[in-house]
Amino acid sequence: MSALHCADPDLFSFELHKRMHAARGSQAAHPAFELHVALSLRRGDCLAVLGASGAGKTTLLRLLAGLTPADGGHIHAFGRCWLDGARSLALPTRKRRIGYVFQDYALFPHMSVRGNVRFALRRGAPERLADELLETVGLSALAGRRPAQLSGGQQQRLALARAIAAEPDLLLLDEPLSALDAGLRRSLQDELIALRRRYGLTTLVVTHDPGEAVRLAGRAILLEGGRIVADATPAELFGGRGEALTLGGRVLDVEAGADGPLYRIDADGRTLLARAADGAALAPGSMVTLVAERWTARPVPLTPPQDAAAPRTSPG
């Protein structure tokens, strides 16, 4: 099936429809809904996609990649048509020039580091491109290792190199840094910014971290029930809404408070104070995920999510 040609070679635009069915046994948490998202991006733009679990963020990326079939709509990608429901046109993933970094990286465990990147090269591309990308992401010395022999940060770099090796028109990142600690996440954000600029990558990044969205993206959307309810710059979005937003942090130290210990937390360069509501003890260096009701330039009371592994905190 050949792609139709679309008018604007510098525009990526789409309108997608997908009926989302409730998962068995979880209707209350993730009820059925209709995903309907329409957007346009210019070449080189970076868009952050935010929303609660089950809002449709990952589904949107999978629809764009062709991994999940759309019920209707279109995708016009820089002068080519990837999807046109009216004409029953739907290019397979391999023809869409997509780079995709999954949450779990999805590296090939039986291949070497170099082999993972070479596998993604476009037909006819010189194999030296794989070595150039490994050098760019600092993995040249580890080219012969298997993914299981790499640290989390190294696996993330490998996943990025493999995605870029495909010379993608569109780079899709599904919470690629969520499993890393705050310090490493910040470092890899810097590397991702540099890679995007070097290769001129048009990017969609799913994230729960407002600090990450502010650093990486010039535009952000908030999804609720498969619909866009906010579309602005990240700073505008997080400065004017009241939805809960998550932010990674690290405990710096503990100080005495009138009602118990106060924990000083470094959250993406901002120092915040929080109190453990359940009396749990947090040691300096502990990594926590904070939840803020609102993102502002001033520190706000934050609480970690209700998770057995993360003590709950309340405003100090």
pLDDT in tens, 118-148: 999 988 888 889 999 999 888 999 999 999 9
Beta bridge partners of 172: 100, 204
In angstroms, rounded to a whole number, what is the distance separating the alpha carbons of residues 50 and 228?
Answer: 10
Mean pLDDT along residues 196-208: 91
Contacts of 306 (CB under 8 A, 6+ apart): 312
Look at residue 190 in the predicted model and tell me its pLDDT.
86
Q: Max alpha carbon distance in the chain (Å)? A: 70
Percent residues over pLDDT 70 in the chain:
75
Look at residue 149 in the predicted model and tell me its pLDDT.
95
For the chain, strand residue ranges (E) read: 4-5, 11-20, 33-42, 46-51, 72-77, 80-84, 89-90, 98-101, 170-174, 203-206, 219-224, 227-232, 245-255, 262-267, 270-276, 287-292, 302-303, 313-315
User: Which of 37-46, 212-221, 294-303 is predicted least confidently?
Assistant: 294-303
In angstroms, rounded to a whole number, what is the distance separating the alpha carbons of residues 176 and 68?
Answer: 20
Look at residue 5 in the predicted model and tell me its pLDDT.
59
Phi–psi pair at 90, nearest 5 degrees: -150, 100
Please name which of 128, 206, 125, 116 lies closest in space to residue 160, comparing C-alpha atoms: 116
The answer to whether 225 and 55 are in contact (CB under 8 A) is yes
Mean pLDDT along residues 208-214: 81
pLDDT in tens, 43-89: 999 999 998 888 899 999 999 999 999 999 999 999 999 999 899 99
Higher pLDDT, 197 or 295: 197
Look at residue 264 in the predicted model and tell me its pLDDT.
79
